[in-house]
Each structure stands twice: as structure tokens, then as C-alpha cells.
Amino acid sequence: MKKYFVGIIAILVSIVVFIVPFAFIFVTAAKNEQEASLLEFTLPQQGWQLWENVVTVFSARDYILVTAFINSTILTVASVAIMVVLAAMVGYVLQRRKSRWNHLINFFVLAGLIVPPAVVPTIWVMQSLGLFKTMPGMILIEVTFGLSFCILLFRAFVSTIPRELDEAAIIDGAGPLRLFFTVVLPLLKPVVITVIVVQAVAVFNDFTNPLYFFPGDANATVQLTLYNFSSQNLSQWNLLFMDILLITIPPLVMYIFFNRQIVAGMTSGAVKG
């Protein structure tokens, strides 16, 4: 009886924390500007304007939301692809090849999680390299900030893979690259999916890094389009919430379809290694 009671409480808490805010966003996004300005959790009284608000949001400022979706997609796909390959390689080497440098490398990996980014020096370095306000520079920023977390996940998962597989592949004549890409990497599928989903959502939803390192309307990402409908003096709440709803859908879909793989990848290596 106790476990059912705890389960019911957990479901109720989930509804309050996740479903109720999402429902509020949806109904507010379907209202006209006058009704939405009241910020009341009620159904639209003057008719649903869901489609009209969608068209208005997409057409605002010469379809900047379309440009933002393209930029965010390119940024997300490129950043996550680089993170997966680099983190898998580093995690594998750190777990399999013990050396006197491991402690130093581990220190830098943990420092990447703890030390906050220095915005002004980073901008100065990017300007010196000609990477400021460029997509390659923004990709490098996202990869740098997300790499440490990915390395820790891959290292924990590699510890669950028997070393005998490596030895058998080496005996069969496999070199280091062939060993990693044909033997080890396919076994990392659960944690690869975890890294892809978690980091894709993080990069897609990133607000501060594009704001600092990727300014300009041509470089807009989806989170920065929230400025279109919110200002110091006036906020178009129906359009603002519609924008929030549209940019929330892609991460939400990813979590719905890959939630089991995320849990499996996050918990791998928790016991062994």
C-alpha cells in the first residue's frame, strides 16, 4: 500500500511540475493579445487563435524564427557530432591506458565542469582568431563547454566493456583506430544516444552563449527569438508563449522517444569501474 501511495504522490508532483506549466503555455499561446496580457490560466474566451499566432510568430522580423531554427539545427548537429567522437575517444583512452598523465587530464576534465567561463577573455581570443560571430567559433564554444560531461559518461561506460574484446581484436590485427571504430564504438550505443539527446537539448536550448559569442540577426538562434516579443515596456504574451511552445517541441519529442536510452546511458558504469 505504501509503494502505491508514493507512486501516486510522484505522479501528482510530476503533473504539477511539468504538465500544468505546459498547459498554461499552450492556452496562453492560443489567446489574442488582450486576453493573454491578463496571464490567467483559463481557456480562450474570444476564440482560439492558435494558427494565427503561429503564422505571426514565424513571419515576425522577416521570418527570423526560420533563420533561427536553421542556425540552431546546424549548431546542434555539428557540436554534438564533434562531442560524441572526441569524448568517446578520450573516455576510452583514459579508461584503458593508465599513465602518469591521467591524474592531470582528469583534473582538467573536472575543471571543465566546475570553472565558470570567462566571457570577455573568450571573446578577445575569438576575435584574435577571427572566430567571433561565426558558426565555427560558436560550435567550438559549445563543444568546449559540453565536452567534460560527455567524457565522464563515456569513461564510465567503457569500464563495463571487457578488456578481452580489445585483446582479441589486437590479436586479429586491428590497429588502434580500427579497434575503436569497429569494436568499441558500436558497444557504446546506449551512452552515445544519451550524449546525443542530452547535449542536443542543451545546445538547442542554450541562451547565454549565443547571446555573448554569436550576436546579430543573421546569427539568431531559437532562444534569442524570445526577445522579439518581450521588451522593457511591452510584452506580447500570446506571441511570446507561442514562440516558447514552438521551440520547446523538438527537445520534448527527443526526450519522449529516447527517455529509456537516456536512463540506461546515465546509469551505465555506476556499479562497475
- Taking the C-alpha atoms of residue 134 and residue 131, their distance in angstroms, rounded to an integer, is 5
What residues pair up with 235 in beta bridges, in sequence order? Answer: 230
Identity of the highest mean pLDDT range in 8-17, 107-116, 145-154: 145-154
How confident is the model at residue 271, as a pLDDT? 45
In this structure, is residue 157 part of a structural domain?
yes
Identity of the highest mean pLDDT range in 73-87, 147-161, 187-201: 73-87
According to DSSP H, which parts of the chain are helical? 2-14, 20-29, 33-36, 50-96, 102-114, 119-129, 135-158, 163-171, 176-178, 185-187, 189-204, 208-213, 237-267
In this structure, is residue 215 part of a structural domain?
yes
**The domain containing residue 140 runs over which residues?**
2-267
User: Tell me: the pLDDT tens digits for 213-252?
Assistant: 998 888 999 999 888 777 655 678 889 999 999 998 888 8
Longest pairwise C-alpha distance within the chain: 74
If one compares 258 and 21, the residue with the highest pLDDT of the two is 21
Query: What contacts 225, CB < 8 A, 6 or more positions away?
Result: 64, 65, 68, 243, 247
In this structure, is residue 136 part of a structural domain?
yes
In this structure, is residue 65 part of a structural domain?
yes
- Taking the C-alpha atoms of residue 151 and residue 110, their distance in angstroms, rounded to an integer, is 10
In this structure, is residue 273 part of a structural domain?
no
> Shortest CA distance to 24 belongs to which of 224, 231, 187, 248?
248
In this structure, is residue 191 part of a structural domain?
yes
The CATH number for 101's domain is: 1.10.3720.10
How confident is the model at residue 273, as a pLDDT? 43
In this structure, is residue 272 part of a structural domain?
no
- What total of structural domains would you count in the chain? 1
- Taking the C-alpha atoms of residue 204 and residue 49, their distance in angstroms, rounded to an integer, is 27
In this structure, is residue 171 part of a structural domain?
yes
Q: How far is CA 49 from CA 35, 43, 55, 66, 80, in A?
A: 11, 11, 10, 21, 36
Residues 96-132 as b/e (b if ≥16 CB within 10 A, e otherwise) read: beeeeeeeeeeeebeebeeeeeeeeebbeebeeeebb
* % residues pLDDT > 90 (the chain): 40
Work out the pLDDT band at 262, boundaries 50, 70, 90: low
User: Tell me: the pLDDT tens digits for 65-102?
Assistant: 999 999 999 999 999 999 999 999 999 988 888 788 88
